[in-house]
Amino acid sequence: MTDFRIVEEPEILEGSPTPITPASKRLTRGQLVRRRFFRNRGAVVGLIIIGLLVFLALFGGYVLPWRFDQRDTGAYYKPPSVRHWFGTTQAGFDVLAMTIRGLGKSLVIGFLVAIIQTTMAALIGSSAAYIGGWYEKAWLWVIDLMLVLPSFFLIAIVSRGGPRGSYAWLLLVVLLAAFGWQLSARVVRSLSMSVKEREYVAAARFMGLSTPRLLVRHIVPNIASMLIVDVCLGVGYAILGEAGLSYFGYGVQAPDTSLGTLISEGALSTTIAPWIFLAPASLLVLLVMCVNALGDGLRDALDPTSISGGQA
Amino acid sequence: MTATAPFRNTRQTAAGDVVLSVHDLHVTFPSEAGPVRAVRGLSFDLKAGETMAIVGESGSGKSVTSLAIMGLHPRTARITGSVTLHGKELLGLTDAEMSEIRGEDLAMIFQDPLSALTPVYTVGDQIVEAIQTHHSISRSKAWQRAVELLDLVGIPNPDLRVKSFPHEFSGGMRQRAMIAQAIANDPDVIIADEPTTALDVTIQAQVLEVLKTAQRETGAAVIMITHDLGVVAGMSDRVTVMYAGRPVEQGSVDDIFYAPRMPYTIGLLGAVPRLDATNKEPLATLKGNPPSVVNLPPGCPFVPRCPLAHSGCREREPELETVGPDHVAACWENERIRTDSLTSADIFPTQVLAPVEKAVVEKVDQEVVLSLENMKKHYPLMKGAVLRRRVGTVYAVDGIDLTLHRGETLGLVGESGCGKSTTLLEILNLHAPTEGRIVVFGNDTASLKRADKKRMRRDLQVVFQDPMASLDPRMPIFDIIAEPLGVHGWSKEKTEARVMELLKTVGLEEGHANRYPQAFSGGQRQRVGIARALALEPELIVLDEPVSALDVSIQAGVINLLEELKQRLNLSYLFVAHDLAVIRHIADRVAVMYLGKIVEIGSVEEVYNRPSHPYTQALLSAIPIPDPTTERSRTRILLRGDLPSPANPPSGCKFRTRCPLFEGLTAEQRTPCLEAMPPLVTAPAGEPVALESSGVPQRVTTTVPEGGVETDHVVACYYARPVKVL
């Protein structure tokens, strides 16, 4: 097969802004996506801030003057000062220390829940659409059934009866994810229905690709834009969902804390002590904004048709 | 026609005078990348009753021209120049003023008849609306005229069908209804924008005939926008060839086809595979793609693709220069083209392939790579949402036999809906069909296990029609081509080397591997599709209309590539196409399908020179040939109506409802046709008779050939006889 000559001169690419250098190195798909991602300033900034937040959540507790469960009996409801940078709560806890502690918990819960539920939605939705038949019908029944169940109460009841201790929040993650994927799965299914009719899916099937590989290589990437948006929204929803449960005493329990717990606690006293509310709330806003910027960047990097991704 | 009389007694412009005059028309659109100069300096005069064709590849500015004349261009477009109708300037008129003219003096026929008719109104309502907008006549009178118009354009039972909704019409009938609507007010100029591109060839022949009738009845001038040079040759009096927004050659249809003076025109004519070509030489290929009309460099835009280009061409763009009576061309070298009488073969040299000695007899002894034995594929027709019940059967493929040998190309042709694609999918699925057997490389698909299937997929590959849809847009070219290698467990290093080799094989660069499919033109994408099919060194490639989505100049390159690869790698092709000219160029044998049955099969020379089934004859006669003299002297067999639904096929011979031969038979002679589908028998010998000669058809006396149907020219018709169509 080496004696081929070039059949005709290579065609000239129309409208390509950068001429192709024939000697350019070949990059793998991963390298290409990475390169396209790092061209997007906003996404990179988002990624850096999220990295900083994670760093803060991991190691912040060791450098701060106060620990989150340490009471300052001399300072109840104190506004920000040199002693307590972000002020103190009614019980005399340091707001900064609590916010950092809560951030860690919320980051873990938010990202875990969002990633787990979107992964479930992607796998179940796309496989239901692709395989069809009874498999699809069964999943649709499950989805519809779970959508009508009052998830809040179920989570509340189950987490009440669940194990206690410092890892009890893991059960919360599982429950939040288990009740969060259904709507997305339906959307994924309908999007996959149109993708599976494309010729490249037929081409892959005729190549001998197995069904799981076909789903992961061809169908899921082509609905990636929707999935990324879903993860971004999911992070915010999970953090707030956890806050709601915590407020009623089901989620993260004192003395442990989370951003949601802090916000709901601070919201009660916004008029007299706004600092309790402001610190965790602004951190949450910052976090969600960064996640969205990161998501936009990822979407553009994965989607070759987007202009902002640049040419690659 | 009497019906037109109430509307127009005298024409504003007498026959032979200029009715529409376009002078120095420029259309520019703003865009992010810079101004898009879609049309640059188009001028022409259209005489009453004349047909002018505007030819060009996609992006050459043809459609923008028509929209600018009609005043239907987007608001952002900047238009300069002049467009005069009956001596009255149209540019600069308000939309309200243009509405007075549109539909009354100027009418338009669009490419896609489904989206050009409003789905919620009946066809009659829409024609009545077109009439009443411009004439205050009673609704009943307008309705009556609508019926007359539908009758004129050949819609059966017009008084009933006038109440039908567009979705109840087939594609061809919708296009007829569009024509009826366009001529409702007896316009002076009809602009037809690719009116038959979306239709099958037999329907295209019908619609073109209707268009000719409509023009004859109304005396309107027609601007025919098309990329099909065959249609141009048959329909038009004058031709304008456009390239990159500029007219590059204008002249009478004979001048353009027989004495072209611009290399682009010459290349375009050389690139079309011809139905009547007897030698199988490689087609002329114009390398490269039409340029983008944003930021055009100075000089002739055709320079990068023109072998005659010299430094002068790069500096200044040639103006249209008079090269003969009523013939202008824009080329610095037009004088040299005339004196040296350069043809496409001289200007666009193609590699002559080393002839590979392959006798037909030898082929039969060769290994059979694919055979279908009485293959049937039926789909159940279901009804109901909760309790689904079977209400019928779609006979998509209804018992076909095919054999494909190593190194052979078998063409499969037929109208859309005849079961060609179903046949391909059945082969590719490697499942057992509804009935019969599919044997691929000696293995019956019914007995294949999963591992066997995977092994066989290595040798059986596919190239799809739409090169954009068949490449995953999210994957770089390298991953697309490497995918089949990965499935079959190639190592990373071997894959890398193989992909680079494949890119070279199909004429792409190694540097292209990093790019995504959307960065490529249609022709290049199709090359990627071919590279992917070749990756595992297959023996059999199934091609589903691989060139029908490509522009003429690009198509030729892909056809040549396929041909070269076949000879070098000893591949077998199962080539599905609706374009019989392409099949003639590339195939060794051809099978004609109609409603799930093969009606004629044989070597290309036999089937094209001595077509014996009336359907094959009709198909061949329906295809326009890019040669005006031939086109003028040809007689067409026009089939009536559309393909019947495969869910409810006619009894007996499936073709009898549209068969021109059947119509001429006596009741007694018709009996066998009504009773059973005729078997495939050896085509009757004898010289082909002329198309016009009628004579009493004789019952075929030949029988099924000894060696099976793959050895011979066989035909499924009780009254088959060879006819000279080409």
Which two three-digit tokens encode residue B330?
């824009």
- B238 pLDDT higher than 70: yes
Q: Do B484 and A208 touch (CB under 8 A)?
A: yes
- A24 pLDDT higher than 80: no
Q: Do A14 and B290 touch (CB under 8 A)?
A: yes
- A18 pLDDT higher than 50: no
Distance of CA A134 to the CA centre of its chain: 31
Residue B413: burial class (beta carbons within 10 Å; 0-12, 13-18, 19+): buried
Percent helix, strand, coil in chain A (nearest 5)?
65, 0, 30
Using CA atoms, how far apart are residues B597 and B579, in angstroms rounded to an integer?
19
Residue B439: burial class (beta carbons within 10 Å; 0-12, 13-18, 19+): middle
Using CA atoms, how far apart are residues B407 and B103, in angstroms rounded to an integer?
55
Query: The domain at A37-302 falls in which architecture?
Result: Orthogonal Bundle (1.10)
Optimal mutation site among A11, A28, A192, A311, interface B, most CBs of chain B within 10 A: A11
Higher pLDDT, B563 or B363: B563
Q: Do domains B2-236 and B360-594 have the same CATH topology?
A: yes
Higher pLDDT, B522 or A255: B522
For residue B47, the cross-strand partners are B18
Our CA-based measurement puts residue B36 at a distance from the nearest CA of chain A, in whole angstroms, of: 12
Our CA-based measurement puts residue B8 at a distance from the nearest CA of chain A, in whole angstroms, of: 49
Which two three-digit tokens encode residue B656?
């009898």
Q: Look at residue B415 in the predicted model and tell me its pLDDT.
A: 83
Q: Amino acid identity, residue B665?
A: L
The whole-number average pLDDT for the span B128-149 is: 90
User: Per mean pLDDT, which range of A30-44, B386-400, B494-508 is the poorest?
Assistant: B386-400
Using CA atoms, how far apart are residues B209 and B226, in angstroms rounded to an integer?
16
- B353 pLDDT higher than 90: no
- B283 pLDDT higher than 90: no
Q: Which three-class secondary structure state does DSSP give residue B582? A: helix
User: Per mean pLDDT, which range of A299-303, B51-55, B164-168, B691-695 is the poorest?
Assistant: B691-695
CB A219 within 8 A of CB A205: no
Q: Which of B287, B457, B512 sits opposite A20 (nearest CB)?
A: B512
Using CA atoms, how far apart are residues B360 and B518, in angstroms rounded to an integer?
42
Task: Give the number of residues written for chain A.
Answer: 312
- B357 pLDDT higher than 60: no
Q: What separation, in Å, do the N-terminal and C-terminal C-alpha atoms of chain B show?
A: 34
Q: Helices (DSSP H) in A149-179: which residue ranges? A: 151-161, 168-178
Q: Amino acid identity, residue B426?
A: E
Which two three-digit tokens encode residue A147?
């959508």
- B555 pLDDT higher than 80: yes
User: Per mean pLDDT, which range of A41-50, B347-356, B488-497 is the poorest?
Assistant: B347-356
Q: Look at residue B226 in the predicted model and tell me its pLDDT.
A: 87
Using CA atoms, how far apart are residues B209 and B635, in angstroms rounded to an integer?
12
Q: Do A224 and B474 touch (CB under 8 A)?
A: yes
Indicate the fold that domain B2-236 takes in CATH.
Rossmann fold (3.40.50)
pLDDT in tens, B482-524: 999 988 888 888 999 999 988 888 888 887 888 888 878 778 8
pLDDT in tens, B632-671: 888 888 887 778 888 888 888 889 888 888 888 888 888 8
CB B660 within 8 A of CB B266: no
Which two three-digit tokens encode residue A193?
């229905």
Q: Do B469 and A200 touch (CB under 8 A)?
A: yes
Quote the ipTM score: 0.73
Using CA atoms, how far apart are residues B59 and B224, in angstroms rounded to an integer?
16
pLDDT in tens, A189-204: 999 998 888 888 988 8
For residue B79, the cross-strand partners are B27
Spell out the domain ranges in chain A: 37-302
Most confident segment among B140-144, B163-167, B351-355: B140-144
* B470 vs A contacts (CB less than 8 Å): 198-200, 202-203
CB A161 within 8 A of CB A218: no
Q: Do A26 and B560 touch (CB under 8 A)?
A: no
Share of chain B above pLDDT 70, in %: 92
User: Per mean pLDDT, which range of A72-81, A182-191, B101-110, B411-420 is the poorest?
Assistant: A72-81
Contacts of B99 (CB under 8 A, 6+ apart): none
In the structure, what pLDDT confidence band is assigned to residue B54 with cuts at 50, 70 and 90? very high
Q: Do A11 and B476 touch (CB under 8 A)?
A: no
**H helix or E strand, kind and range, residue B393:** strand B389-405
Q: Look at residue B4 in the predicted model and tell me its pLDDT.
A: 43
Q: What are the b/e assignments for A203-226, b being 16+ CB within 10 Å?
A: bbbbbbbeeeebbebbbbbbbbbb
CB B80 within 8 A of CB B96: no
Q: Do B478 and A23 touch (CB under 8 A)?
A: no
For residue B221, the cross-strand partners are B189
Share of chain A above pLDDT 90, in %: 21
CB B515 within 8 A of CB A29: no
* A24 vs B contacts (CB less than 8 Å): 511, 514
**H helix or E strand, kind and range, residue B18:** strand B18-29
pLDDT in tens, A118-158: 999 999 999 999 998 899 999 999 999 998 988 878 887 87
* A204 vs B contacts (CB less than 8 Å): 472, 483
Q: Which three-class secondary structure state does DSSP give residue B549? A: coil
Q: Do B288 and A11 touch (CB under 8 A)?
A: yes
- B139 pLDDT higher than 60: yes
Q: Which of A22, A200, A202 sits opposite B510 (nearest CB)?
A: A22
Our CA-based measurement puts residue A172 at a distance from the nearest CA of chain B, in whole angstroms, of: 36
Using CA atoms, how far apart are residues A217 and A196, in angstroms rounded to an integer?
12
Q: Which of these, B326, B321, B257, lies nearest to B45 by C-alpha position? A: B326
Using CA atoms, how far apart are residues A278 and A85, in angstroms rounded to an integer?
13
Using CA atoms, how far apart are residues B157 and A280, in angstroms rounded to an integer?
76
Q: Which of A24, A199, A207 sits opposite B469 (nearest CB)?
A: A199
Q: Look at residue A17 in the predicted model and tell me its pLDDT.
A: 37
* B474 vs A contacts (CB less than 8 Å): 221-222, 224, 302-304
Q: Which of these, A213, A11, A72, lies nearest to A130 by C-alpha position? A: A213
- Average pLDDT of chain B to the nearest whole number: 84
Q: Which three-class secondary structure state does DSSP give residue A44? A: helix
Using CA atoms, how far apart are residues A112 and A276, in angstroms rounded to an integer?
26
Q: Which of B287, B292, B454 sits opposite A208 (nearest CB)?
A: B454
* A20 vs B contacts (CB less than 8 Å): 509, 511-512, 515
Using CA atoms, how far apart are residues B379 and B160, in angstroms rounded to an integer?
32
- B3 pLDDT higher than 70: no
Q: Which of A14, A28, A311 sits opposite B289 (nearest CB)?
A: A14
- B710 pLDDT higher than 70: no
Spell out the domain ranges in chain B: 2-236, 261-347, 360-594, 597-724
Q: What is the DSSP string of B82-149?
A: EEEETTEE-TT--HHHHHHHBTTTEEEE-S-HHHHS-TTS-HHHHHHHHHHHH----HHHHHHHHHHH
Q: Look at residue A22 in the predicted model and tell me its pLDDT.
A: 40
Q: Which of A12, A29, A304 sits opposite B473 (nearest CB)?
A: A304
Which two three-digit tokens encode residue B235?
């329909």
* A213 vs B contacts (CB less than 8 Å): 487
- B573 pLDDT higher than 90: yes
Using CA atoms, how far apart are residues A271 and B281, in angstroms rounded to an integer?
88
For residue B541, the cross-strand partners are B461, B573
Task: Please name the residue of chain B whose CA is at the shortest distance from the CA of residue A300.
Answer: B474
Q: Amino acid identity, residue B191?
A: I
* B487 vs A contacts (CB less than 8 Å): 207-209, 213
Our CA-based measurement puts residue A209 at a distance from the nearest CA of chain B, in whole angstroms, of: 6
Q: Which CA distances in Å does A11 have to B286, B465, B507, B529?
A: 10, 20, 8, 16
The whole-number average pLDDT for the span B301-312 is: 84
User: Per mean pLDDT, which range of A294-308, B240-254, B513-527, B578-592 is the poorest?
Assistant: A294-308
Locate tokens 């023109």: which residue?
A: B306
pLDDT in tens, A269-292: 888 888 888 888 888 889 888 988
Give B309-349 as a 3 state SS string. Answer: CCHHHHHCCCCCEEEECCEEECCCCHHHHHHCCCCHHHHCC
Chain A and chain B share a number of CB contacts under 8 A equal to 146
* B488 vs A contacts (CB less than 8 Å): 208
Using CA atoms, how far apart are residues B241 and B251, in angstroms rounded to an integer?
9
Q: Look at residue B171 in the predicted model and tell me its pLDDT.
A: 78
Q: Look at residue B693 in the predicted model and tell me its pLDDT.
A: 62
Q: Do A13 and B520 touch (CB under 8 A)?
A: yes
Domain B360-594 has CATH 3.40.50.150: no
- A72 pLDDT higher than 90: no
Which two three-digit tokens encode residue B726?
């080409």
Which two three-digit tokens encode residue B639?
């089939």
Tell me which DSSP letter residue B4 carries. G
- Does the predicted model carry a pTM greater than 0.90? no
Residue B719: burial class (beta carbons within 10 Å; 0-12, 13-18, 19+): buried
Q: Look at residue B509 in the predicted model and tell me its pLDDT.
A: 81
Locate tokens 């969600």: which residue?
A: A288
Our CA-based measurement puts residue B551 at a distance from the nearest CA of chain A, in whole angstroms, of: 14
Share of chain B above pLDDT 90, in %: 12
Backbone φ and ψ for B632, nearest 5 degrees, come out as -65, -35
Q: Which of these, B242, B232, B259, B267, lies nearest to B320 by C-alpha position? A: B242
- B725 pLDDT higher than 60: yes
Q: Do A206 and B428 touch (CB under 8 A)?
A: yes
CB B174 within 8 A of CB B114: yes
Our CA-based measurement puts residue A16 at a distance from the nearest CA of chain B, in whole angstroms, of: 8
Using CA atoms, how far apart are residues B189 and B361, in angstroms rounded to an integer?
56
Residue B81: burial class (beta carbons within 10 Å; 0-12, 13-18, 19+): middle
Q: Which of these, A231, A248, A247, A260, lies nearest to A105 by C-alpha position? A: A260
* A36 vs B contacts (CB less than 8 Å): none
The whole-number average pLDDT for the span B436-464 is: 87
Q: Which of these, B285, B111, B202, lies nearest to B580 by C-alpha position? A: B202
Q: What separation, in Å, do the N-terminal and C-terminal C-alpha atoms of chain A show?
A: 30
* B307 vs A contacts (CB less than 8 Å): none
In the structure, what pLDDT confidence band is assigned to residue A306 with cuts at 50, 70 and 90? low
CB B608 within 8 A of CB B682: no
In the structure, what pLDDT confidence band is assigned to residue A25 with cuts at 50, 70 and 90? low
